[in-house]
Homo-oligomer: A and B are copies of this chain.
Amino acid sequence: MAQNYIVRNLVRADAAVVDALAPLGVATVHESAGRTGLVSPAIVARQDNVAIAGSAVTVSSHPGDNLMIHAAVEVCQPGDILVVTTTSPSTDGMFGELLATSLMARGVRGLVTDAGVRDIAALRRIGFPVWSRAVHAQGTVKATGGSVNVPVVCAGQLVNPGDVIVADDDGVVRVPRAAADRVLTAANARTANEENKRADFASGTLGLDMYNLRSLLERLGVTYVDTLPDEER
């Protein structure tokens, strides 16, 4: 079996940078990171109109076993987001209201998991946001070791401990810790630029003109016709 570790120390991104990424949203941050870092759309926001950012504390658990989530709580700090994966696919409800209460007591901002959550109505009521593959009440045991704060793959995306996680209604994106500053700058610029574009679009400007796409269509051989030729029907 693999050696399992609980890594106590985590290098986090600058708190001001992390906090500034939250309101920019997943789509903008993903674009500003060069279209990298997105978690699979199988991981779904379990509440509406919530946008958070935080530093990833990662957990690798045996399926059907939430022992390592308990171990992870102790190394969390205010501003963190817990990222939980299993060593093979699982939809079990590894996480519920009690663990959320425990994490909220430590200032943790939310949970992203490749598996399932339960007590979903209570989680919404107490305001602890979660992104998960499933909602399932299936109970788990505490019997098999795993690791905390090692690199994990969560729903198709590599997450290193200390990476910045941004999550909103669109899903979840990971920004490498070292890139957080650069991505924030790019995202702020993009957001400013989008304000202008939004105004232009609202006033009727077409994307074809805004992005100069007419010549591209022509170069690609896309043909304007009034009606579809018969042989194409």
Contacts and interface: CB of A to CB of B under 8 A. Distances in A.
Contact of A207 (B44, B73, B156, B171): B73
B202 A35 contact: no
Nearest to A30: B137
Contact of A102 (B31, B88, B99, B201): B201
A139 to B, nearest CB: 4
A63 B93 CA distance: 13
Contact of A211 (B70, B92, B121): B70
A170 B121 contact: yes
A185 interface: no
Contacts of A27: 93, 96, 118-119, 137, 139
Nearest to A100: B201
Q: How many copies make up the complex?
A: 6
A199 to B, nearest CB: 9
Nearest to A166: B137
Nearest to A136: B41
Contacts of A145: 217, 220-222
A187 to B, nearest CB: 12
Contact of A142 (B3, B104, B211): B211
A108 to B, nearest CB: 12
Interface string A179-221: 1000000000000001001100111111110010100110011
A7 B105 contact: no
Contact of A119 (B150, B151, B170, B222): B170
Interface of A: 1-9, 25-27, 30-31, 33-36, 38, 40-41, 44, 48-49, 51, 62-65, 67-71, 73-74, 87-93, 96-99, 101-102, 104-106, 116, 118-121, 124, 134-139, 141-147, 149-151, 153, 156-158, 168-171, 173, 178-179, 194, 197-198, 201-208, 211, 213, 216-217, 220-229, 231-233
Given A5-B224, A27-B137, A73-B207, 19 more contacts: A4-B220, A8-B224, A30-B138, A41-B134, A48-B121, A62-B64, A63-B92, A64-B90, A71-B208, A71-B217, A73-B208, A88-B138, A93-B170, A118-B170, A121-B170, A135-B170, A143-B143, A147-B222, A153-B157
